[in-house]
Amino acid sequence: MDRRPTLETRPPVLIDAVVRTLVPPVCREHVVGDLWERYRSPWQFVLDAARTIPFVLASQIRRTSTAASVVIHVFLLFTSLGPGARRLWPAVVAVSGALLAFVLRDAYRRGVSISVKQVSVDVLFGAAGLIASQAIVALVSPGLLLPLPAYSIGLAGFGVLFLLRLQNPNLGSVPRQALTHVPATRESLVGEIRLFERMSRRGYRIEALVGVALAGFFIVPMVNAPNVVLRIGWALGAAYALYVAVVVTKLQSPPMPDGLELGAALAHYLDALERRRHQIETLWRWYLMPIVPGMSFIVAGATIEASKKGRPLWPALVIIALMAGMGIVIHTSTRGWARTIRLRIDTLGSIQS
């Protein structure tokens, strides 16, 4: 493609390169083209770009980072970096640095990444944001630095974020264009179905593996629990983790057989999407509610133990509030995911009819 303009007036190469870099790749083509078309002088071009890019970036962030995904990131980063930080503000600075890096990475990514390599790069960006925030803090206010032991616990949070992003690469923010796009050929529909199946398989496997790992992990506090209430709580927690692992294994739809005609392939896919939508809509029933008994016993057992030792009881209330908040966030975001699947079902259903 010939990129040379026919007019003499064009932005200086260096300024143009900076502007191109700052505009998110998804909208770079038309935004930079529009800025070129309005070009009158280097100064006007810089001003025009400076008045345009913040809006374009904010709009892209709105599209790529849903409120639910931000809350989940903050929760995981805070619960992993917070205990090691011991004070509030160092944790706030570290979490903000990592979160900003995640949000910008998602905004400047070319489409949704599904490969393990790409998800690893995303998480490395988050870690780089954390390190950059610490480098700035070291220069400006060393008192706000995160203590070194916090990094070892923080690694667990980044590990969970890696798994979560591997399981849900777009974290619920699917562009409307992708949902209302009508596949032009049988091959493109089959490609979409195979990608859906691959992502579903990966998601279920991660969920099942995490369930089994958590069940094993919960045995340690169960054995060492100082009272029977806590022991029951951890046992119920382990049972819950195993229950989720079993349920998600059974939820998997059978893969589409090879060589199906367009109509049959579409019917198979619509059925799989409908099942997925139903699973997501009923998530609160089979995923969220079963955790309540175990958590109740754990909080009650910890409260009994705290009162025996004369410790304050407020941490139990904070944990209950956090768990309830996470439950509400997950429930709200799953309703949004179910709506996006409904839109895809409606779009594909219109071809079928």
Partner 1 sequence: MALPESIGQFEHVVLAAVLALGDAAYGVTIHARVEEFISPRTVSLGAVYATLDRLEDKGLLKSWLSNPTPERGGRSKRHYRLESSGERALRDATIAAKRICDDLERIWGEDVWTAGQRWKPARQS
Q: Tell whether residue 34 is a contact of partner 1 (CB under 8 A).
A: yes
C-beta closer to partner 1: residue 60 or 80: 60
C-beta closer to partner 1: residue 201 or 339: 339
Nearest to 273 by CA among 208, 187, 333, 199: 199
C-beta closer to partner 1: residue 2 or 261: 2
C-beta closer to partner 1: residue 38 or 311: 38
Query: How many of the chain's residues bind partner 1 (CB under 8 A)?
Result: 35
* Span 161-220, contacts to partner 1 by CB under 8 A: 176-177, 180
Q: Tell whether residue 353 is a contact of partner 1 (CB under 8 A).
A: no
The first and second tokens of residue 209, run together, are 């593996």
* Span 257-296, contacts to partner 1 by CB under 8 A: none
C-beta closer to partner 1: residue 67 or 264: 67
Pick from 10, 268, 335, 342: which binds partner 1 (CB under 8 A)?
10
Q: Tell whether residue 2 is a contact of partner 1 (CB under 8 A).
A: yes
State which amino acid sits at residue 164. Answer: L
Q: Tell whether residue 346 is a contact of partner 1 (CB under 8 A).
A: no
Do residues 247 and 284 make contact, with C-beta atoms less than 8 angstroms apart? no
Q: 164 Cβ partners below 8 Å, 6+ apart?
A: 72, 76, 171
Q: Tell whether residue 7 is a contact of partner 1 (CB under 8 A).
A: yes
Q: Tell whether residue 339 is a contact of partner 1 (CB under 8 A).
A: no
- Tell me the closest approach of the beta carbon of residue 190 to partner 1, in angstroms: 24
Do residues 243 and 332 make contact, with C-beta atoms less than 8 angstroms apart? no
Question: Please, what's the b/e burial string for 228-264 (b: 16 or more CB within 10 A of its CB; e: otherwise)?
Answer: ebbbbbbbbbbebbbbbbebbeebbbeebeeebeeee
Interface segment toward partner 1; rule CB under 8 A; list 28-36, 150-158, 232-240, 249-257? 28-36
- Tell me the closest approach of the beta carbon of residue 106 to partner 1, in angstroms: 15
* Span 36-95, contacts to partner 1 by CB under 8 A: 36-38, 48, 51-56, 58-60, 62-63
CA distances (Å), 179 to each of 42, 89, 319, 339, 341, in order? Answer: 40, 41, 37, 11, 8
Q: Please state, in angstroms and rounded to a whole number, the distance separating the CA atoms of residues 36 and 45.
A: 8
- Tell me the closest approach of the beta carbon of residue 67 to partner 1, in angstroms: 14
> Nearest-5° angle of CA 162, CA 20, CA 25?
35
Nearest to 174 by CA among 285, 30, 273: 273
Cα R_g (the chain), whole angstroms: 24
- Point out which residues bind partner 1 (CB under 8 A): 1-7, 10, 16, 27, 29-38, 48, 51-56, 58-60, 62-63, 176-177, 180
